[in-house]
Amino acid sequence: MRKNGKNPENIALNVTDLACERGGFEIFANVSFTAKPGEVILLRGPNGAGKSTCLATLYGVLPKSAGDISFENIDPEREPREYLHIVGHVPGVKTTLTVKENLSFWAQLYGGTENVLPAIEAAGLDAIQDSEASILSAGQTRRLGLARLLVANRPIWILDEPTSALDKQGDQWVGQLIADHCAEGGIVIAATHLEIPHLAPEAVKTVMIGQTAMDHAS
Amino acid sequence: MKPFLAVLTRDMKLATRIGGDSLTVLLFYIMTGAIMPFAIGPDKDQLAQLGPAIIWISALLSLLLALDRLFRMDHEDGSLLAMRQASLPLEMIVVAKICAHWVTTALPLIVATPVLAILLNLEIDQTLRVIFTLLVGTPALICFGAIGAAVTVSIKRGGLIAPILILPLSIPTLIFGVSAVSSGAIANAQDAALLFLAGFTLLSLVFTPFAAALALKMAAE
């Protein structure tokens, strides 16, 4: 029996024939997948194929032009966004706040943990937790942005290129974060070329984006 | 309530740290008011007569300075996107940001107003009345400013466009703000102006969160 600590309500996600149009152009179309607890969905495709647009449609910032996104087992009184963590291209780190203040803010906003120290340690930033985030390198800033995932428990993570700016250890750390989250029943939807370690192959689904765009081009 | 306070305290911290706007706005306010006597001349009576108007215009201009940063930084560094995933609706996040902005920019101006009042030769009771009208009227200025800032948030270097959108909206507040102090008018007219000013503030507080949140949502698309 799998542990289900990260997703006690067994939230799942069904996406059918999702498409998005921007200014009359079809960015992507016919994206369908189901994400059950413990699964990783990897969006793959060439640059400009619409991976980021697809993720933005999933978390509701962009309107979909066709198809359906449905969350299973969510509390009807709560918005789907309350079950999501999103980390985009820009990490959302405030440079004039300290590392700890940055994370504490997200913990309070998301109604998460009181103690952000474990998240800081996990990101490897505990030695500089009281320094201003302006002194962080690009990779450390990215780690701090990702540490947001750990300060509040949300079953579905949507990550857009989570490993950009990270070194090899950083890649491994992110892979491990994703694997741990899924091992406890969470769902991760990521646009990344990263290999996720320690995860059963059947738990990883790859969704190709941009087939239509490629068809038009050829 | 806790998420609301989190946004409020974070924005207040950001405004008072290095790179924040609190002190800049305050100094700009005092300087704008202080250079007026050089332009108008040393006629004390004339200064006292123009004083409330000068203070109001200085306050309006200095508040415009910082408004562009209300949402822009958070929009550009991805914070706003992540904040939208909170259980707190975006409208309430806007309210929290407006409150923090008022406390860190408008409140210092109001506290520093006696300094300007001395430079402009205002009587004590008139000074107090100006302070009171600023307390009542500045939330409306910040609210209109928040709408302008939200509409222009996705325009790179939109810093100069927002004031052009905001200034016409601020005219009623300016008119009633100044006429709630100006001497010479009938006493009842001053009180009526004050009530109008309060009405504008209340109206803007009701509509701004929805308008600004809608503009921010459209900017993210």
Each residue's pLDDT tens digit, A12-22: 888 888 888 88
Report pLDDT digits (tens) over A84-139. Answer: 899 988 888 998 999 999 999 999 999 888 888 889 998 888 899 899 998 998 88
- Any A CB within 8 A of B78 CB: yes
Find the closest chain A residue to B88 by CA distance: A109
- Helices and strands in chain A: count of H runs, count of E runs: 6, 8
pLDDT value at residue A158: 92
Residue with tokens 């308008």: B211
- Any A CB within 8 A of B76 CB: yes
Sheet bearing A84-87, strands edge to edge: A84-87, A156-160, A187-191, A40-44, A204-208
Are the beta carbons of B181 and B129 closer than 8 angstroms?
yes
Average pLDDT over residues B176-184: 81
% of chain B at pLDDT higher than 90:
54
Report pLDDT digits (tens) over A70-89. Answer: 888 888 888 888 888 999 88
Kindly list the residues from chain A whose CB atom is less than 8 angstroms away from the CB atom of residue B76.
90
Report pLDDT digits (tens) over B68-85. Answer: 888 988 998 889 999 998
Are the beta carbons of A60 and A80 closer than 8 angstroms?
yes
**Confidence (pTM):** 0.90
Nearest-by-Cβ selection for A81 from B19, B84, B221: B84
Residue A215's pLDDT band (cuts 50, 70, 90): very low
Find the closest chain A residue to B75 by CA distance: A92
Residue A184's pLDDT band (cuts 50, 70, 90): confident
CATH annotation of A12-90+154-217: 3.40.50.300
Residues in CB range of A175: below 8 A, 6 or more apart: A194, A195, A196, A197
The residue extents of the domains of chain A are: 12-90+154-217
Contact criterion met (CB < 8 Å) for A111 and B3: yes
Average pLDDT over residues B79-107: 93
Kindly list the residues from chain B whose CB atom is less than 8 angstroms away from the CB atom of residue A89.
78
Are the beta carbons of A42 and A204 closer than 8 angstroms?
yes
Residue A217's pLDDT band (cuts 50, 70, 90): very low
- Any B CB within 8 A of A109 CB: yes
d(Cα B157, Cα B146) in Å, to the nearest integer?
Answer: 16
pLDDT value at residue A216: 45
Residues in CB range of B183: below 8 A, 6 or more apart: B49, B126
pLDDT value at residue B187: 66
SS3 A35: strand
Are the beta carbons of B217 and B152 closer than 8 angstroms?
no
**ipTM, 2 dp:** 0.86
Contact criterion met (CB < 8 Å) for B10 and A105: yes
Query: What is the token pair recorded at A9?
Result: 């309500």
* Start-to-end CA span in chain B (Å): 28
